[in-house]
Amino acid sequence: MSKKSLPITRKQGKARLGDQIRSIADRLKQETDVQIKTTSRILGAAAQIAENHDRLISEVVDMVELDLNVEKQVSQKHIYTIDIIKQQFKTLRDAKAHFNLKVSSWESLVNKLNAASYQTTITQNKTQSNRSLTDKNVRNCEDNHNNIEKLTVLLEPDVVEMFPNSEAVNETLRFLIRVMSKNSF
């Protein structure tokens, strides 16, 4: 009797072992399918991130180019040329008298005007960047403490190097606001 029960038990053990192996193989296949789907989703998300990144970079570049073009147009308004000065004044004598400059030619007049304009811009920027709060500024701040539209912010020296005046700070913050509002997800 014991001889007959052994082969049956071995066959049952082999069958159970085979079922267990098949079960493990099925689970591995299911896990592999899940991993493939997950990897596919991750790659899809990465592709979407790359596309959004490229679009964001393009939008930022476009905005910067637009701002630079506007700034260039504004700065070109302050550049004098001989033709512009000749259109405004009939004679060199009239132009010299108007600008209170001593020059011998139209060209030297234009050079002095453009140099003076450039120097004034640099001096104004340096003055504004080195300026600290004065009593007048403090009084203005106290007078406007109820006015939420105005806010006094103290800039650290390293920031002042990049943003020499309030106009530069506001321009940069507006640019940042445009970028953030365009790319709200």
Residues whose CB falls within 8 Å of the CB of residue 172, separated by 6 or more in sequence, listed in order? 163
pTM over 0.85: no
Give the model's pLDDT for residue 134.
43
Which tokens go with 63? 């905005």
* Residue range 122-148: mean pLDDT, rounded: 46
Farthest CA pair distance, the chain: 136
Residue 35: pLDDT band with limits 50, 70, 90: very high
Give the model's pLDDT for residue 31.
94
Residue 128: pLDDT band with limits 50, 70, 90: very low
Query: For 137-161, how does the pLDDT look when each residue is reduced to its tens digit (9 = 90+)?
Result: 444 444 544 445 567 777 777 877 7
Euclidean distance between CA atoms 168 and 129, whole angstroms:
11
List own/partner pairs for 162-168 with CB under 8 A and 24 or more apart. 164/125, 164/126, 164/128, 164/129, 165/125, 165/128, 165/129
More confident residue, 45 or 75: 45
Residues whose CB falls within 8 Å of the CB of residue 19, separated by 6 or more in sequence, listed in order? none
Give the model's pLDDT for residue 65.
84
